Amino acid sequence: MDSKQPLASIKNVSVGYGGTPVLTDVNLDIYPLDFIGVIGPNGGGKTTLSKVLLGILKPYRGRVLFPSGRINIGYLPQISRIDRSFPITVKEVILSGVSSRRNWWKSLFTKTEGIAEKLLDELGLEGYEDRAIGQLSGGQLQRVLLARAIVNNPQLLILDEPNTFVDRNFEAELYKILERLNKRMSIVLISHDIGTISSIVKTIACVNGTLHYHPSNELTEEVLHIYNCPIDLITHGELPHRVLKQHS
Ligand SMILES: Nc1ncnc2c1ncn2[C@@H]1O[C@H](COP(=O)(O)OP(=O)(O)OP(=O)(O)O)[C@@H](O)[C@H]1O
């Protein structure tokens, strides 16, 4: 694949809800094997950015282009949006991702046998395929949702706050998994946890009504100020710790 050609290209996009823009004049190119951390204050438009990439929201102005042709995009939604009482097994959740971007008749003839088990092995959840999702811990459910997001072997994986509700151990494991996946797919990682993500992402986008792209993973207070990205960086010991400013 030509790494000079973006997989996805957001061009001068303005988008929002009910005619009111949330994001204005956004530009972003996503290249093969990019790993972009998306940060910004609550309500700044991070999830809206992912919806416009996924084609769920249509821009008021501008366009989202896929210069190298149509691509598969995997999506890990915020876990808080998942109804855990829904009676569905781990395997059913993972396989529900298989047909979502294919024609129904194609999916009927696609060999799915063993795919869920293979992904569960890869993510350290072997033997969990027949469990109901209500019987999983937050970290286990995140892994299952990640398996669903990558079941189509996407070129681009978008994760919306995957570190919410997970403990520190799983968080470290998740980042290792993402580093491994990044060898075969581009990743867009939305997170409040700027201190931690800045050590694994390659570049950063600050989203706060518009988007400022920072072509490295090093962020200082000064850079955040220039980008008008109201996030405080506070250092605790070795790991930079972060606190988001409240809505004004
Ligand atoms: N379906 C919707 N209808 C109307 N307004 C919405 C809808 N979804 C989001 N919004 C509004 O759009 C703005 C941006 O929301 P979005 O979820 O993109 O922000 P975010 O940066 O992801 O926030 P957070 O960090 O809290 O997840 C917010 O003001 C939100 O209230």
Per-residue model confidence as pLDDT tens digits over 111-169: 566 888 888 888 888 999 999 999 998 888 888 999 999 998 999 999 998 877 677 77
- Which residues does residue 187 pair with via DSSP β-bridges, in sequence order? 35, 157
The number of the ligand 1 atom at minimal distance from the alpha carbon of 16 is 12
> Side by side, which strands form the sheet with 35-39?
73-76, 156-160, 186-190, 35-39, 203-207, 211-214
pTM over the 0.95 mark: no
Predicted confidence (pLDDT) per residue in 213-244, tens digit = 998 888 777 777 777 776 655 444 444 444 44
Q: With contact defined as beta carbons under 8 Å apart, do 101 and 70 qualify?
A: no
Domain 1-71+157-167+184-248: give its CATH superfamily.
P-loop containing nucleotide triphosphate hydrolases (3.40.50.300)
Nearest to 157, CA basis, from 120, 184, 122 = 184
CA–centroid distance, 135 to ligand 1, in Å, is 30
Q: With contact defined as beta carbons under 8 Å apart, do 128 and 155 qualify?
A: no
- Relative to beta strand 231-236, strand 239-244 is antiparallel
CA–centroid distance, 128 to ligand 1, in Å, is 34
The number of the ligand 1 atom at minimal distance from the alpha carbon of 48 is 18
The interface predicted TM-score (ipTM) is 0.97
Going from N- to C-terminal start, the domains of the chain cover 1-71+157-167+184-248
